[in-house]
Chain A
Amino acid sequence: MNIQFITSIIALVALIFSIVVFASRWQAMQRLPFGKDRSIPKDSAWKGIMYAFTLGMMPWAKESTRIHMLAYLRGIGFHIGIFAGLAALIASPWFENIPFAIRALFAVLTGSGALMGAAGGVMRVAEKNLRGISTRDDHAAVWLVSLWLGAMAFALIAPAFLPAMYVVSAAMLVYAPLGKIRHCIYFYFARLFYGLHIGRRGVASGLIEHSIPSGRRSHAPQFGGVGAASARLEQEAHNG
């Protein structure tokens, strides 16, 4: 048994642990009460849910992400790296059969993700508000994931790094469902509930209108979820 085999087994056990704990968290969520909404909907719930998971995630969709565009894009890059890293981890036993160009592409994604994660780690210390709201768990999570992504980038290019990558992966996978990283599963619930709210209550239509670039928008003020709607009303008023 070589070191690569042993570490890959450790990573596999950690992966199983992670999946089991995440699954139990998912089940625990499903066991919590979630009553049927008896109010009469003003619009389609699906419209809101679709918006919440698509246009609503665009960097221009929210004032906060327009103000913090770089920080948001950094976060997006970090999370793209994470998804690429997870795919690469599953494919890792077969790295030698994967063309170098594809491995190089994933190395770029995970490597960039590692750098974006590290930048996030630095921001947590450097920026006053972020430092104030961060827990030890937040610092540990961002550096652990960044380290994992870095290790993955190296392993994708040079197989000699595979054992190190497996060890870091194991640590990350065990920590993920226990610490802050677990927010990944709650993301889907939170966006779903947000989508239901804005969909049923007829808010999503205004948000969608605002999120799709339109020639009419040029009539509207810079901000305002109903910019396009009010611009149209203004136009109609002018036209009599």
Chain B
Amino acid sequence: MDNAVTTALAVLEKQLNRPLAAALEVCARCGICAESCHYYVADPKLDHVPAQRAEQLRQVYRRQHDFIGKFFPTWVNAEDLDENKLERLAEIAFSECTLCRRCTFNCPMGVDTPLMMRVIRAMATAAGKAPEILVMLADSAIEKGKDPDMFRAMFKEQIAQMEQELRELTGNPEATIPVEKEGARVLYVALAGAHTILPPAIIFNAVKEDWTLSLYEAANYGVFLGDTARAKAIAGRIIEEAKRLKVEEVVVAECGHACASLVWDAPNWFSETFPFKTRSIVELFAEYIEQGRLHLDPTANPEPITYHDSCNLARTSGIYREPRVILNAVAQNFVEMTPHGLENYCCGGGGGLVALPEYDEKRLRAGKPKADQIKKTGARTVAAACENCRLQLGDLNQYYELSVKVTALADLIVKAMRLPEKIAMSVAAE
């Protein structure tokens, strides 16, 4: 047995806990999960049935753990893990499953196929079979966290320039983008780029929130690798910062995986209940609206607008009501996709797939059900509260000639705030 295979099997053994064992053992292979997968809907073939996908790991598990699998492997299709099988497993987990959980919700048993795909990703990463780009992105984020002093000054300088822009746009000379403000109520963790900083900054200033901007980005590529050590290192920077600044809550940018990992996974990686609340900025925006702290004019967004539920926000984090609170307040003509909410289809860009150019064609083809959904709504704008979803929706827009505009919820809110014309133009340009 070669080294990669031995390493991968060791990871499988290490990760074998009760939920994983249940997922590996419980499938009755009834096959009714097929249509729940957007890959299968786009291209109905056996390899795209979630049960068949998970079966590839089960075959390895049975060979190791099942009495019949050990002595009569052909009876239960048990298979030894070899280099080829490991490469095929990696291909499946990184390019043919976006970890959207739609199959789990549709399974009569509740088989957690994404959990199995995550374990395969972990096996592949440990064995050196993970996509290099994901490894590189995760490692560069970790490097950045090791010595924040190297980039702190440059970051603060960029933010100071952005603050000037914010003041000009809002006409409010006191508008601020505080960084590392100790004792702030909210620590906002944005993504790379001004587009996830400026619109929230406008909103925070409008509601007079006591906030501060994180030095770090919310994206966590360690999660996509299934690599807890890397994911923990990336999340750890933010957690340390939140503790140091003694904030009441950490609010994550409009980003599905970043929110899900920080809210639901990080406390378990660190075996710790954090001394602050963690949630998505979507929940905070909805709260402002419900508290009447934002004055919004839905006629500012008159065109038909639909909403794409990020899988990580809806099915993984239970955030399906809040985006609708926002959209009903900011849009004159909000139309739902069918299906939507907890039954929404993945856009096809989840699980880090949108960052992997080698799988572009696969990803865009798997996005066909989403493109069809959007077309049927007749919407001219598609809102999404996840950066990866927005990237994928933008690509689908071109690939399927949808002629729609893809936007974040924050941009729609800012537009509905009816700020001076130049602000609306600036936000729209983002």
Contact = CB atoms under 8 A, between A and B. Distances in A.
Interface in B71-100: 74-77
Q: Is the interface of A mostly helix, strand, loop or mixed?
A: helix
B394 interface: no
Interface in B2-35: 16-19, 21-23, 25-35
Contacts, number: 213
B271 A32 contact: no
A75 B31 CA distance: 12
Interface string B34-52: 1110000000001001011
Scoring B265, B320, B328 by chain A CB atoms within 10 A of each residue's CB, the highest score goes to: B320
A220 B111 CA distance: 29
Interface residues of B, number: 71
Contact of B23 (A35, A190, A195): A190
Interface in A65-91: 65, 67-68, 71-72, 75
Contact of B321 (A189, A190, A206, A237): A206
Nearest to B329: A237
B16 A32 contact: yes
Nearest to A223: B339
A191 B109 contact: yes
Interface stretch (A92-100, A133-141, A164-172): A133-141
Contact of A233 (B17, B265, B315, B325): B325
Contact of A136 (B16, B21, B74): B74
Interface stretch (A1-9, A12-20, A103-111, A124-132): A124-132
B340 interface: yes
A89 to B, nearest CB: 22
Interface string A220-238: 1111111101100110110
Interface string A47-81: 00000100001000011110110011001000000
A116 interface: no
A33 interface: yes
A138 B343 contact: no
Contact of B30 (A52, A75, A178): A75
Interface residues of A, number: 70
A71 B32 CA distance: 8
A208 to B, nearest CB: 11
A161 interface: no
A133 B49 contact: yes
Interface of B: 16-19, 21-23, 25-36, 46, 49, 51-52, 55, 67-68, 74-77, 104-112, 263-268, 270-274, 277-278, 314-321, 324-325, 328, 336, 338-344
What are the 3 A-B residue pairs with the smallest beta carbon separation, nearest first? Answer: A225-B342, A202-B318, A194-B110
19 contacts: A29-B18, A52-B110, A128-B46, A130-B29, A130-B31, A132-B49, A133-B29, A133-B52, A178-B68, A190-B109, A201-B318, A202-B317, A202-B318, A203-B318, A206-B318, A223-B338, A224-B342, A225-B320, A233-B321
